[in-house]
């Protein structure tokens, strides 16, 4: 395999990542911060949404989310069940378990994914809001079906966001030993291997019920990588996606010392390197329900994905009635 060319942007990405990670550690030492507005870095409602009102009390939350993602690989449904607790005004703990249904060219497969726990800290800085999260997973999913990497994983991410009236901007950076799904892209593979991940974008809010946004992302792996196709493990979907001619992902990424056997592929950092962008429309008919329609484009893998997701704070709905 040919040695990788020197990329000056790698240094820039890692400098930004280091600054954000350092900012997250600094923010945890601050005690005089105001509570955040309860939205994720992209402007969507966070699962650990802060309680409303001036008299804050510890509050339990129960979230249900359904996401449908479709591209030329196939169609994937993910039902995410999560519950958590606000430990303080700024700190929350969430535990969840996703359930997958994958319909690809190799047939259907359904099953549980990896159970996860997330600790999230929200801090108001002078010019922005900082979100620091630590997410860990346990390998409860089926590795042979691509619903898990078969190993525990960890993800440490920091995000900065600021909103001016109708306009919001955000950016986040993190380091992890797996590539997680995003709000607009359920990945056709699960992975294991260290990566840096970056995202930046903005959103326009015409009113309190609608948001229109766009973002660009970059996945920068380093070291050995292993990926598993989501499906029943038969056939050679990875070979057609990543090494086939014409359409498909990567156009021969599995060459040069990399190996694959139908449902699994191993190789260097070029195996799951990715970058692209997304655009979406958020609709919130009521405070506790969010509907998102999105389109994303993976430049590196030549993959166009359309997705629909519905997220609801069940606990808030129950108490509102």
Residue 300 lies in domain: 16-27+58-320
Q: Which two tokens stand for residue 239?
A: 């070979």
Q: What's the rounded Cα separation, in Å, for the pair 110 and 230?
A: 10
Q: Which pLDDT belongs to residue 100?
A: 94
The reply to whether 37 falls in a domain is no
Q: What is the CATH number of the domain that holds 124?
A: 2.40.160.40
Residue 218 resides in a domain: yes
Number of domains in the chain: 1
Residue 133, beta-bridge partner list: 120, 157
Instruction: Indicate whether 265 belongs to any domain.
Output: yes
pLDDT value at residue 255:
32
- 32 burial (CB, 10 Å; 0-12 / 13-18 / 19+) is exposed
Is 35 part of any domain? no
**Residue 120: closest CA among 39, 238, 235, 240:** 39
Return the closest-CA partner of residue 128 out of 158, 105, 101, 107.
Answer: 158
Nearest CA among 187, 195, 134 for reference residue 159 = 134
Residue 54: its pLDDT value, please? 34
- Asked whether residue 8 is domain-assigned, the answer is no
Sheet holding 264-267, edge to edge: 189-192, 225-229, 264-267, 259-260
CB atoms within 10 A of CB 246: 6
In a domain, residue 300? The reply is yes
Rg (CA), the chain: 20
Distance, CA of 141 to CA of 143 (rounded, Å): 6
In sequence order, what are the residues at sequence separation of 6 or more whose Cβ sits closer than 8 angstroms to the Cβ of residue 263?
A: 144, 146, 228, 229, 231, 233, 234, 237, 238
Give phi and psi for 244, each to the nearest 5: -75, 165
Q: What's the sign of the alpha-carbon dihedral 174, 86, 111, 104?
A: negative
Give residue for tokens 């903005």.
Answer: 202
Query: Is the Cα torsion angle 53, 126, 19, 26 positive or negative in sign?
Result: negative
Give burial (CB, 10 Å; 0-12/13-18/19+) of 286: exposed
Domain membership of residue 52 (yes or no) is: no
Identify which of 86, 80, 104, 98 has the alpha carbon closest to the alpha carbon of residue 48: 86
pLDDT for 11 equals 47
For the chain, 321 residues long, give each residue's pLDDT as a single digit of tens. Answer: 343 444 545 544 544 444 444 443 333 333 333 332 333 334 333 444 443 333 445 688 899 999 999 998 889 999 999 999 999 889 999 999 999 999 877 668 889 999 999 999 999 888 889 999 999 999 999 888 888 989 999 999 999 999 998 999 999 999 999 999 888 888 888 899 999 999 999 999 998 899 999 999 999 999 999 988 887 655 444 444 454 333 333 333 333 333 444 478 888 888 889 999 999 999 998 888 999 999 999 988 788 999 999 999 888 778 776
Rounded-to-integer distance, Cα 85 and Cα 91, Å: 9
| The overall pTM is greater than 0.95 | no
Which pLDDT does position 7 carry in this prediction?
A: 52
Q: What is the pLDDT of residue 126?
A: 86
């Amino acid at each position: 395999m040919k040695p990788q060319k020197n990329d000056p942007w790698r240094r820039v990405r890692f400098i930004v990542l280091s600054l954000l990670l350092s900012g997250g550690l600094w923010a945890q030492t601050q005690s005089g911060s105001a509570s955040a507005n309860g939205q994720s870095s992209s402007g969507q409602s966070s699962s650990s949404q802060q309680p409303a009102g001036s008299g804050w009390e510890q509050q339990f939350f129960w979230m249900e989310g359904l996401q449908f993602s479709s591209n030329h690989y196939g169609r994937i449904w993910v039902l995410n069940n999560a519950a958590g607790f606000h430990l303080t005004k700024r700190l929350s703990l969430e535990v969840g378990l996703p359930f997958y249904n994958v319909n690809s060219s190799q047939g259907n497969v359904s099953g549980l994914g990896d159970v996860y726990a997330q600790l999230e800290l929200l801090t108001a800085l002078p010019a922005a809001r900082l979100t620091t999260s630590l997410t860990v997973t346990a390998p409860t999913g089926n590795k042979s079906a691509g619903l898990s990497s078969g190993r525990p994983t960890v993800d440490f991410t920091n995000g900065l966001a600021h909103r001016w009236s109708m306009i919001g901007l955000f950016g986040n950076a993190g380091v992890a030993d797996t590539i997680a799904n995003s709000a607009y892209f359920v990945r056709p593979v699960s992975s294991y291997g260290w990566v840096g991940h970056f995202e930046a974008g903005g959103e326009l809010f015409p009113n309190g019920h609608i948001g229109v946004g766009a973002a660009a992302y970059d996945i920068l792996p380093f070291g050995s990588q292993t990926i598993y196709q989501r499906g029943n493990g038969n056939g050679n979907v990875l070979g057609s996606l990543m090494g086939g001619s014409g359409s498909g992902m990567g156009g021969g990424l599995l060459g040069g010392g990399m190996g694959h056997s139908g449902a699994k592929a191993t190789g260097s950092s070029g195996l799951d390197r990715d970058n692209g962008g997304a655009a979406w429309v958020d609709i919130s008919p009521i405070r506790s329900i969010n509907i998102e329609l999105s389109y994303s484009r993976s430049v590196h893998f030549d993959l166009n994905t359309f997705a629909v997701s519905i997220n609801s704070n069940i606990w808030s709905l129950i108490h509102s009635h």
